[in-house]
Structure 1
Amino acid sequence: MSQPVSVFVVDDHALFRTGVKAELAGLGDDRIAVVGEAGSVGEAVVRITSNPPDVVLLDVHMPDGGGRSVLEQVHSKLPDVVFLALSVSDAAEDVIAVIRAGARGYVTKTISGRELADAIVRVSAGDAVFSPRLAGFVLDAFSDRGSPAPITDPELDLLSPREREVLKLLARGYAYKEIAAQLFISIKTVETHVSSVLRKTQKSNRYELSRWASDRRLV
């Protein structure tokens, strides 16, 4: 019998790491074995390089640099280690950034334990794996030679980069608390940004904003 795929979990939330390990262990799947975990970029880099696993499950957003930072520090040194992003974010820019940095796949945290186990085995075998709607982001990014040039939008140009980030998450249906956690800012700061965006776009509520963002392909 072949050796199980060794898996290392990187996420800044200890409870989530514990949940992933328990979920995978509970499957009784002898194809995979969780061999380690880390809660920060620095810790992950040290542990992965000292004892390389087959697959790293990688959170995209962490306070000290995120999954892309881990990729950039490890991938060139250990090209045989496969990275699979496991994130709450389904934003196109997040997907594209980690794939360009060297990840082999990207799945969201809504994935089931069985689906995650299958994804781990598949990326270890050389496949690229994405949650259903995310594959299109990657295809678009790597075939952008034929994409139309972006159209200048004076209204959109009024928004700061942070306001655009908040708007994108708002338009995807995130609550203020979730946006704050995603961007590592306070709920009060989110409210301030939303008020500013409403004022600049002359919209009266989040539903109008969502439609406005969708029309400009921000979602």
Structure 2
Amino acid sequence: MQVMNILVVEDHFLVRMSMKIVLQELYSQASISESESFDHAIATMRGNPYDLILLDIELPGGQGTGMIGRIRQFQPDAPILVCSAADEQKNALAFIAAGANGFLSKTAEKSETVKAIVTVVKKSRYVSPAIQERLLDVATFGKQNRKRPVGIKSLSGREREITDLLVAGKWVKEIAAQLDIQSNTVSTYKARIFEKLGVDNVIDLAKKLREE
């Protein structure tokens, strides 16, 4: 059986160790290499084909979405899973468009982390459910030039559900438990709801609901 080669590109020691623990549980025979900077990662990739690359986007020598293109010069077929603490709402689609196979928030729980890794290893794409909804929204109203709903009507069923829970005073973790989804997914939905309705906090959100 061929040994799986994995590269973890992450400058924080504890995060690297956490990633390695999850990877070793999934792929016990895997060979796991580490890089603490983007330049070192590129040097490591030369002549060493990888079956999976986990990439932080805020590390020494990093170049934003341009990192994906650089990696593809040396690893054209390797699945790339971006793992970042950066705002998923603002960054996920850009990195997917640049050629990454997935985007995972560092606040994701272990079950979601495992799901993301397994998904990209199979050469499929992974984003959180909230980002999947955003992709569907873009496909529905962007490419078809349809008029996009505004205000409360612009919210999806899940977004409206989370809106009601936020206004009812529920915390993100409480909503996640009630809806059986990840806390970071709720946070992404929350940011998306605020963006759609043009509000900055739950008080203004409640006011917006009353007005409509």
Q: For residue 119 of structure 2, what is the aligned residue in structure 1? A: 122
In 2, Cα distance between equivalents of 1:32 and 1:130: 27
Q: Is the 8 A contact 1:82 1:103 kept in 2?
A: yes
Q: Which runs of 5+ in 1 are unaligned?
A: 151-172, 174-205
Q: Is the 8 A contact 2:88 2:105 kept in 1?
A: no
Match among 36, 42, 47 for residue 45 of structure 1 = 42
Q: For residue 18 of structure 2, what is the aligned residue in structure 1? A: 19
In 2, Cα distance between equivalents of 1:16 and 1:87: 10
Q: Is the 8 A contact 2:10 2:36 kept in 1?
A: yes
Q: For residue 145 of structure 1, what is the aligned residue in structure 2? A: 143
Q: Which runs of 5+ in 2 are unaligned?
A: 149-171, 173-199
Matched, 1:54 2:66: no
Q: Is the 8 A contact 1:35 1:53 kept in 2?
A: no
Matched, 1:79 2:76: yes
Q: Is the 8 A contact 1:122 1:129 kept in 2?
A: yes
Count residues in correspondence: 155
In 1, Cα distance between equivalents of 2:62 and 2:35: 14
Deviation (angstroms), 1:100: 1.2
In 2, Cα distance between equivalents of 1:57 and 1:97: 17
Deviation (angstroms), 1:42: 0.8
In 1, Cα distance between equivalents of 2:87 and 2:53: 19
Shift of the 55–142 alpha-carbon distance from structure 1 to 2, 3 Å rule, reads farther
Matched, 1:134 2:118: no
In 1, Cα distance between equivalents of 2:3 and 2:132: 27
Shift of the 122–31 alpha-carbon distance from structure 1 to 2, 3 Å rule, reads farther
User: Bigger CA drift: 138-147 or 102-111?
Assistant: 138-147
Deviation (angstroms), 1:65: 2.4
Q: For residue 35 of structure 1, what is the aligned residue in structure 2? A: 32
- What residue identity is the alignment partner of 2:55? L
Q: For residue 110 of structure 1, what is the aligned residue in structure 2? A: 107
- What residue identity is the alignment partner of 1:145? K
Shift of the 63–34 alpha-carbon distance from structure 1 to 2, 3 Å rule, reads same
Cα deviation per residue 1:27-68 (whole Å; 9 max; x = unaligned)?
3x3377252111111111111233121111111223432552
In 1, Cα distance between equivalents of 2:64 and 2:146: 30
In 2, Cα distance between equivalents of 1:12 and 1:142: 36
Percent identical residues: 28
In 2, Cα distance between equivalents of 1:148 and 1:112: 37
Q: TM-score, normalised by structure 1?
A: 0.58
Q: Is the 8 A contact 1:11 1:17 kept in 2?
A: yes
SS at match of 1:50: coil
Q: TM-score, normalised by structure 2?
A: 0.59
